[in-house]
Amino acid sequence: MNASLHIVILAAGKGTRMYSKLPKVLHQIGGLPLVQHVINTAQSLEPASIQVVIGHGKEQVQAQIQSNVSWVVQDQQLGTGHAVKCALPNLPKDGKTLILYGDVPLTDAETLQQLLLQAGNEVGLLTDILDNPQGLGRIIRNEQGICAIVEEKDATAEQKAIREINTGILVLPNSHLEQWLSTLQNSNAQGEYYLTDVIALAVADGMTVHGMTVRESHLAAGINNKLQLAQIERIYQLNQARALMTAGVTMRDPNRFDLRGSLSHGQDCVFDVGVVVEGACVLGDDVHIGAHCVLNNVTIGSGCQIAPFSHLSDCVVGTDARIGPFARLRPNAHLGNDVHIGNFVEVKNTTIGNGSKVNHLTYIGDASIGTESNIGAGSITCNYDGVNKFKTVIGDHVRIGSGTMMVAPVTIGDKATTGAGSVITKDCPAGQLTIGRARQVSIDKWQRPEKDSK
Ligand code: UD1
Ligand code: CA
């Protein structure tokens, strides 16, 4: 633990330019709320405390974030300086405080460690140099170095030409914090208590402000609107794709890959374009994921081929299985090895044994299927009477004829066969052919309806 480090995360703003019911810091990057990214990075620095200043949508923010942080409520958003002041009562008089922002999600621990190192016991300020600095606070320097920050709305034409900007991220010595924050005035263009004014106060107290320029702009980029949200998402996703490729994963196009969770993988896994991975997914070796598949919380064994447009959620697939195209594996599907699931097949809450096949247009729910069985095209386990769910048990080496309706609860014995189009309402004995359908009749001299000819 870093006993002298305290972190305050500002997250009280509304995010007017998001035009959303959701507080800004709950919008997501990579499937995680913006502020969650900031909290995770803050936690990785092992500080003595983390305070998150909330205001707009505070109940929603608290409900969505499960992390162990202290919440500080800022009822009125009177400015960034006022926001830090709200956290002051919980800060000790010694040590240092790092200020982070709930809408700046991609800052990495490395950058923050360097800033802390450079600041020492004085002030550290993370800056950036932008071609278009519009809207941001400008860094004012004199012969001694950084001496002030001026907000765009308060800047002269000359100051507006400065391209070095305030990212907002800074580290301050607690010994001076209370005095500086209580000195802040709101006599500026926005009528706010600017945290940025502490820079000039620090310099006036003879303290050096150590500026550090961020190595890549996205590390300090704030999100104010949906355009920036999408831009940061792409940067985040490309970084994840790069890390996976570096670890041996083949990506047909790293620009068309989305990971919103965690992915662990063996050797020689391949992702075709447009795959979305959510939750915690685990892949063995040689797993091929076809174009436009969605995987959510799945474990897939080595050698599996998932053909395009398949959707797998909360399920487990053994080795060498072939799934899809257009397959849907729903929660609690447990597939063995060498299982084939074909197009327009839905499997839910079902165990399927090694070598069994369900290849076409079928619904299997609340069932168990043994090994080496084949379910014919268009078959359905009728598992639901509108109130209760019932189980279908299918043995080993079973042949279910095409279009068989298995009205659960029903058991089909090993090596049983059902006739095509059967409605199975009673158990089928092992080894026998069971047919449950009206016998075919042909009607002679039947009169087909004809249109009137006028
Ligand atoms: C701030 C900086 C500016 C910097 C820019 C970087 C100030 C005065 N200006 O400007 O120099 O270039 O960030 O993005 O600090 N917040 C609160 N409570 C408040 C006000 C703000 O929690 O009362 C939070 C917001 O939710 C937001 C962050 O602080 O996450 C920044 O506030 P914002 O109003 O967006 O500041 P900027 O005008 O962007
Ligand atoms: Ca901002």
Alpha carbon nearest to ligand 1 atom 13, residue: 168
Cis peptide leading into 325, omega within 30 of 0?
A: yes
Residue 453 has pLDDT above 80, yes or no: no
Q: pLDDT of 302-314, one tens digit each?
A: 999 999 999 999 9
78 CA closest ligand 1 atom index: 23
CB within 8 Å of 231: residues ≥ 6 apart: none
Q: pLDDT of 248-280, one tens digit each?
A: 999 999 999 999 999 999 999 999 999 999 999
Q: Is the CB of 13 under 6 A from ligand 1?
A: yes
Å from CA of 100 to ligand 2 middle: 12
| Closest CA relative to residue 128, chosen from 223, 42, 211 | 211
Q: pLDDT of 82-101, one tens digit each?
A: 999 999 999 999 999 999 99
- Other CB atoms within 10 Å distance of the CB of residue 23: 27
Mean residue pLDDT of the chain comes to 97
- Residues 161, 212: contact at Cβ < 8 Å? no
Residue 454 has pLDDT above 80, yes or no: no
Q: pLDDT of 10-54, one tens digit each?
A: 999 989 999 999 999 999 999 999 999 999 999 999 999 999 999
Q: pLDDT of 146-195, one tens digit each?
A: 999 999 999 999 999 999 999 999 999 999 999 999 999 999 999 999 99
Percent of residues, the chain, with pLDDT higher than 70? 100
The pLDDT, as a whole number, for residue 14 is: 87
Alpha carbon nearest to ligand 1 atom 11, residue: 137
10 CA closest ligand 1 atom index: 22
Phi, psi for 108 (deg, rounded to 5): -100, 160
Q: Is the CB of 101 under 6 A from ligand 1?
A: yes
77 CA closest ligand 1 atom index: 23
Radius of gyration of the chain (CA): 31
Burial class of residue 305 in the structure, from the number of CB atoms within 10 Å of its CB (0-12 exposed, 13-18 middle, 19+ buried)? middle
Residue 117 has pLDDT above 90, yes or no: yes
The pLDDT, as a whole number, for residue 16 is: 94
Residue 452 has pLDDT above 90, yes or no: no
Residue 374 has pLDDT above 80, yes or no: yes
